[in-house]
Amino acid sequence: MKIAWNRYVALIIGVVLVGMTARAADPVQPAAEAAKPAAEASKPAAEAAKSAVEINMKSGSVVPELTVNKPSGKPIFSLKPYGYVKLDASYDTSRVQVGDYAFYVLPQVNGERDNEFNMTARETRIGLELMGPDTEDWKTTGKIEVDFYGPSGTANSANLRLRLGYLDVAHSSGFSVRAGQDWETFVTVIPRMLNFAILADAGQLGLRRPQLRLSQEVPISGSTKFTAKVAAARPIGQDLDGGGQDDGADSGAPHFQYNALLETPLLTTKASKFSFSGVIGRDTIDTTVSNKVVTTDENNYNVWAMIGSALLPVHQKVALQGTLWTGENLSTYYGGIGQGVNIAKQTAIGAKGFWVQIMTDPLECLNWNLGYGLDDPSDADLSKGNRARNTMIFTSLYYKLTTAVTLAVEYSNITTAYLQGDDATDNRFQGSMIYKF
């Protein structure tokens, strides 16, 4: 049998490439050896210049970190992938908004509950941590993170969505600048739970948005430090007037966020956190007729919130955390149970709320949590049938099957009250399997 020379050459190249790939991916092989180019074998024994790229294994990680080095071997840039694969399955005794995760309970139909079952892998997350290059006084870092909760996706064909995407430049004096999309500047603590909504519309304010943030860290004594943060953030509102323009963007100004954070060890060596934070902005609504704008900037509605947050480790294996807040027109920040402006009354909807959680780690492989959240809009600002109160009590259990795989279960009881209407209650059972890398 004759083999054409071009096929013979292609076969040899393929074998060589497979061999090189297997060699580079071998975690047992030393990092420096894995990164050597093939031509390095002919270098002089003195090896005047080291490899420009190295693959390093960090302790406790199953994913290597890619490092770009100077000829001297000093790192100038590194890139570390991270993330997890997660499957969520949930059963709700009543219909909830939105199903795969739960904000609040939808009204009953003819006094009857409408149960549902959901299963999704959309929370699967991929991220990159970027580090360097640095100078003597400036440190450069960045982060890119996505999941699959993008718009227009289907249950089995999800779309990518940007979660985080920012650069951070920090000076040795404690001053830093963060530019890009990150968690709200006013967020200090986040509930630990399986429900992807993380108490949004049930006591937790904020999500993520594009912003320019300035921070100044001030050491006080020992491990105690104070950090002041201010940010100009994109105003993301709704289109309540139907004019085809975001009401937040129509205001012509960003929202301003702030956070005054104190970190200090109190009862344990772990730092306790106490913060006072908030947001100030406005939404602008036009006058429209048949979805056509006839008068621009007719009404302005203030957006504001004042928030107190705390994280208190009371033992090496037990911690308390939570927030307390008040404000108005907070629908874009998941306050007021998703209600910001009452067009019928031409008023911003005031609301108040809180959440609290106890987190415990009784065993190295076991974590148990118990929490409660409340979002309570002002009845005076609502109309009949509006959501008047939303509460959620939940408990979750995480078990590490291996260092990378976690099994978890969660139970939530959610009750949503409607103004001059019946309450709607849901019992939610959720199970998850997570592979973290």
Question: What confidence score (pLDDT) does residue 22 get?
Answer: 37
The span from the CA of 390 to the CA of 313, in Å, is 28
Other beta carbons within 10 angstroms of residue 159's beta carbon come to 14
| Token pair of 310 as six digits | 């705390």
Give me the residue spans of the domains in the chain: 1-70, 74-436
Q: Tell me which amino acid residue 59 is.
A: S
In whole angstroms, give the CA distance from residue 426 to residue 293.
Answer: 41
Residue type for position 204 = Q
**What is residue 15's predicted lDDT score, i.e. its pLDDT?**
41
Q: Which helix (H) or strand (E) holds 167?
A: strand 161-171
Tens of pLDDT, residue by residue, the chain (437 residues)? 443 444 443 444 444 333 433 333 343 333 334 334 444 444 444 343 344 555 665 555 556 677 767 666 666 789 999 999 999 999 999 999 999 999 999 999 888 889 999 999 999 999 999 999 999 999 999 999 999 999 988 989 999 999 999 999 999 999 999 999 999 999 999 999 999 999 999 999 999 999 999 999 999 999 999 999 999 999 987 888 888 888 888 889 999 999 999 999 999 999 999 999 999 999 998 888 877 888 888 889 999 999 999 999 999 999 999 999 999 999 999 999 999 999 999 999 999 999 999 999 999 999 999 999 999 999 999 999 999 999 999 999 999 999 999 999 999 999 999 999 999 999 999 999 999 99
pTM assigned to the model: 0.83
Q: Which CATH number fits domain 74-436: 2.40.160.10, 1.20.1250.20, 2.30.140.10, 3.40.50.620?
A: 2.40.160.10
| Residues in CB range of 156: below 8 A, 6 or more apart | none
Using DSSP's 3-state secondary structure scheme, residue 337 falls into: helix
pLDDT for res 74: 67
Give the residue from 247, 168, 245, 170 showing the smallest Cα distance to 211. 168
The span from the CA of 24 to the CA of 18, in Å, is: 10
CA distance linking residue 2 with residue 434, whole number of Å: 52
